[in-house]
Chains A and B, each alone.
Chain A
Amino acid sequence: MNVIEARDLYVRFYTYEGVVKAVDGVDLDVVSGETLGIVGETGSGKSVTTYALMNMVPPPGKITRGRVIYRKKGVEYVLTEMPENEIRKLRGSELARIFQDPAAALNPVYKVGDQVAEAILIHRLDEMKKRALESAKGFSRNILSRSEDDWLVKFVKRMPLLRRFYWDPIKEETRKEVVRLLSLMGIPDPERVYSMYPHELSGGMQQRIVIAMALSCNPQVLIADEPTTNLDVTVEAQILELIKDLKEKFGTTLIYITHDMGVIAEVSDRVAVMYAGNIVEIGDVYSIFKEPMHPYTKGLLESIPMPGRPIKDIPGSVPNLVNPPQGCRFHPRCERAMSICSTRKPKLVQVRPGRWVACFLYHSEGVEEE
């Protein structure tokens, strides 16, 4: 079952220097439970695509065309057509994200524990309230046992001194849950770490906090945006292990973005290769590595430094996305470019079961340019 489907996705950024066509016609299916690796250079549109999957493309960007559908238990949510306050309920609880720079992703003036707790208090409030009820005493027990429509509950929640009877037990339960999550992340002494500030923690620890934040409400889909790029190599290995572990444990669908082919090989089930705003190839990780089809994918694999083989880089550079090349975006750098490549843009077509390519070397379906 596809847990996420993106069809005909176009994202544009309206900047001072012109309109950046960051994502230019992307179709993507994400299968439930899989790890989909998205690989590409900087500027390929991989991050923006995943923001679009959560419908939170930051301004000045906008989804100008296309649909994103999220599926859970047979219910279809068309994210591109839902009002913002509805989508917000899904973010954090169903769709979560971890970031490349963990220090920047954490608010410097709040304790890390509180930041992990934030999502829990939004999406799992009823659960925490129920737990609090079991251990609450006295007036708190009274308040928590009543329904939310009860006049007393509404009154107490608004009164400055009284509201602690409502919130303290809930916050305590949340805190316990956060501590549990932190230790699950492999964080030592989680009680103490709860009260620390981001700058007091190492990069690896910060990233564990960010992961805890993302998984706090047990989301179905986790989008990992280059989570190890900024970390030291040894820490990178630990975090990768952690992510793989957690994915096993929770059965989360993982979308892993990176530019590092080695990480892709280690972590993904399937791989999508992106270039200049388009997906150029999709396939399972083994066949992509063994038998890359698109010239760009080949180029990526060949440019990995390996002993005994000369480094081969891809000539040229990533195109300007305000004025991308006509036809196939890659053709100026492609050694196998044909004349059709400069006039028509190849469509992403399934050429074998499980294998999709956007290249006229393998098919002849073009895309109608916008």
Chain B
Amino acid sequence: MSSSIKRVPIRERFWYKELVFMLKRIRESPLSLIGTSIILFFILLAVLAPYIAPPRPGRDPFEIPRFGYVPTPSPPSPEHPFGLTEGQYDLFYGCVWGTITAFRVGFLGVSGSLLIGILVGALAGYFGGLLDDILMRIVDIVFAIPGLILAMAFVIALGQSLDNVIIALMLVGWPTYARLVRAGVLQVKVEDYVEAARAMGCSHSRILFKHILPNSIFSVFIVATLDMGSMVLTASALSFLGIGAPLGYADWGQLIALSRNWLLGVPGDPFAYWYTYTYPGIFIFMFVLGWNLLGDAFRDILDPTLRRR
């Protein structure tokens, strides 16, 4: 998707200027402010989780406490502010701790993809030739199978668990970064200051890291922000389908999976069990929305053709 992001090589010296300019524009854009506030809220929630929804002593905090075994969900009450979903799992607890799960999945998934992608992209772009052809062919191949579906295949191959979901996400997500970084490297490779560095006898890795990479970083940054959201979406979809987080784990997708039998309510009251799907769904939606707003705002800010007007 690099075609939708315009890249302009940024002179090294003006790094800082660009950053300041960017921060200024962020402050001025209402959408990015909303996005930032949403994410800050979730960070706060994640940090305060042990206090807001105290885990039971001696148990894994990511195991949602159950208050009974009856399948029928129970509505919100003072002890259970979001109610209890099928199997009497506490929705409030699940949503709060699910925040940490979401951050974990997103952060690890994006980091892993980033690392692999940057490595592959930088090597392919810098050295070119056969290495480039092979690596890019691999990128094309992994891209050919849609993300969720490939992740499904990886997860059943690796075994169902949240950690394997994260690994699957990394394996599915790296090609995007590889392409971006490669394109950035190719563009910057021919700039004069790289020639100068090479003439001075800098080693390959020094040139790569010090000169080329910083300039490709901005578009990668945008995609990484957006990816935080989409990785969580994919992970929760996998949980929803039953091949992600295990039953009873604090994961938003898992919680929605538990609500499937209760969508239609009871005769006469179709929304009797609204809380089972509304709360976890809102959490996922807002989390992803926050990152998308932020990433979108960054994209607009860093797009040179839209800048000077």
Chain A residues in the interface with B (C-beta under 8 A) = 15-17, 60
Bound-complex Cα distance A221 to B308 (A):
33
Cβ–Cβ < 8 Å partners of B307 in chain A:
16
- Any A CB within 8 A of the CB of B17: no
Of chain B, the residue at the smallest CB distance from A60 is B309
Cβ–Cβ < 8 Å partners of B308 in chain A:
15-17
Bound-complex Cα distance A353 to B205 (A):
72
Of chain A, the residue at the smallest CB distance from B307 is A16
- Shortest CB–CB separation between residue A17 and chain B, in angstroms? 7
7 contacts between A and B (CB under 8 A): A15-B308, A15-B309, A16-B307, A16-B308, A16-B309, A17-B308, A60-B309
- Residues B259-309 near A (CB distance < 8 A): 307-309
Chain B residues in the interface with A (C-beta under 8 A) = 307-309
Cβ–Cβ < 8 Å partners of A15 in chain B:
308-309
Cβ–Cβ < 8 Å partners of B309 in chain A:
15-16, 60
Cβ–Cβ < 8 Å partners of A16 in chain B:
307-309
Bound-complex Cα distance A217 to B309 (A):
35
Bound-complex Cα distance A60 to B309 (A):
8
- Shortest CB–CB separation between residue A121 and chain B, in angstroms? 33
- Shortest CB–CB separation between residue B253 and chain A, in angstroms? 43
- Shortest CB–CB separation between residue B304 and chain A, in angstroms? 12
Cβ–Cβ < 8 Å partners of A17 in chain B:
308
- Shortest CB–CB separation between residue A58 and chain B, in angstroms? 11
Of chain A, the residue at the smallest CB distance from B25 is A16
Of chain B, the residue at the smallest CB distance from A16 is B308
Bound-complex Cα distance A17 to B307 (A):
11
Of chain A, the residue at the smallest CB distance from B308 is A16
Bound-complex Cα distance A60 to B308 (A):
11
Bound-complex Cα distance A200 to B106 (A):
50
Task: List the 7 shortest-distance A-B pairs measured between CB atoms, nearest first.
Answer: A16-B308, A16-B309, A60-B309, A15-B308, A15-B309, A17-B308, A16-B307
Bound-complex Cα distance A15 to B309 (A):
6
- Shortest CB–CB separation between residue A366 and chain B, in angstroms? 34
Of chain B, the residue at the smallest CB distance from A14 is B309
Bound-complex Cα distance A310 to B103 (A):
71
- Shortest CB–CB separation between residue B26 and chain A, in angstroms? 15
Cβ–Cβ < 8 Å partners of A60 in chain B:
309
Bound-complex Cα distance A17 to B308 (A):
8
- Shortest CB–CB separation between residue A12 and chain B, in angstroms? 15
Bound-complex Cα distance A84 to B308 (A):
27
Bound-complex Cα distance A336 to B308 (A):
37
Bound-complex Cα distance A79 to B309 (A):
27
- Shortest CB–CB separation between residue A16 and chain B, in angstroms? 6
- Shortest CB–CB separation between residue A14 and chain B, in angstroms? 10
- Shortest CB–CB separation between residue A178 and chain B, in angstroms? 34
Bound-complex Cα distance A16 to B309 (A):
5
- Shortest CB–CB separation between residue B29 and chain A, in angstroms? 13
Bound-complex Cα distance A139 to B159 (A):
75
- Shortest CB–CB separation between residue B23 and chain A, in angstroms? 16
- Shortest CB–CB separation between residue A28 and chain B, in angstroms? 29
Bound-complex Cα distance A9 to B217 (A):
46
Of chain B, the residue at the smallest CB distance from A17 is B308
- Shortest CB–CB separation between residue A60 and chain B, in angstroms? 6
- Shortest CB–CB separation between residue A257 and chain B, in angstroms? 24
